[in-house]
A and B are shown apart, each in its own frame.
Chain A
C-alpha cells in the first residue's frame, strides 16, 4: 500500500540553525511528493513538490529532493527563522493523497 513515514517531533531549533525533517514513503508506481506547512491557526499550504525521481522542489529557502533509490523526500533549510515555526507534513499523491503525521517545528530567537 501507500504510506508516508515522517520524523517525529517536536523539533526545537535556534534561529539560523540548519533544519532537516526526514520523510520516507512506500508507494506502488511513481507517486508525486509534497511538503505542506500549517502555521498556527491556519489551514495547510503547499510548500514544495516534486513529481519524478531526482526532481528538487524548493520554496522560501526550503528544499527537498525526490530520491527513488532511498524512497525519501527529506525537507531541508539552511538557516531557519522564527517565522518558520509551524507543523510540516510530508505527503504523496497516488490515486489519493497520503499524509505523514506531521512534525512540529519551533524556532527560538
Chain B
C-alpha cells in the first residue's frame, strides 16, 4: 500500500492568483496522477506525472493552467494558475501500485480549493 499526504488540505484564494498543491508519497512510485473533483461530481483526470519526463495532460487541461512538477519518485506538485471561481474543486493526488491494470489506486486526502 501507499500513504499519501497533500498540502494544503484546504485553501481559499482570490481570483487571478495561483496555488501550488504538494503531494508526498511514503514509497517510490513510477506514476502519479492528479484529479479534479468538482462539487457533487466524479473524478476527472487532469494529468499523469512521471518522474523525469513531462506530464501528460488529458483533453481539456493544459500545462499553462496546471503546471506539474515531478522532481523525484515520492513527490509531485500541481499548480492551479490564474484561478477563477470555476476552479473551485477538490484536487486529488493518486498513485498506483504494481502492475497498472490490476492493482488499486491510492488517493491522497485531497485539497479543497475555494476561489472567490
Contact = CB atoms under 8 A, between A and B. Distances in A.
B109 A46 contact: no
B44 to A, nearest CB: 8
B108 A93 contact: no
Contacts of B104: 34, 46, 49
B41 interface: yes
Majority DSSP secondary structure for residues of A touching B: strand
A101 B44 CA distance: 10
B88 to A, nearest CB: 16
Contact of A45 (B33, B48, B101, B107): B107
Contacts of A46: 104-106
Contacts of A96: 45, 48
B42 A100 contact: yes
Contacts of A94: 101
A101 B92 CA distance: 16
Given A32-B102, A34-B104, A43 B110 contact: yes
A32 to B, nearest CB: 5
Interface of B: 4, 33, 41-43, 45, 48, 92, 94, 100-102, 104-110
26 contacts: A34-B105, A43-B4, A43-B92, A43-B109, A43-B110, A44-B92, A44-B94, A45-B107, A46-B104, A46-B105, A51-B102, A89-B43, A91-B105, A93-B100, A93-B102, A93-B105, A94-B101, A95-B101, A96-B45, A96-B48, A97-B45, A99-B42, A100-B42, A101-B42, A102-B41, A102-B42
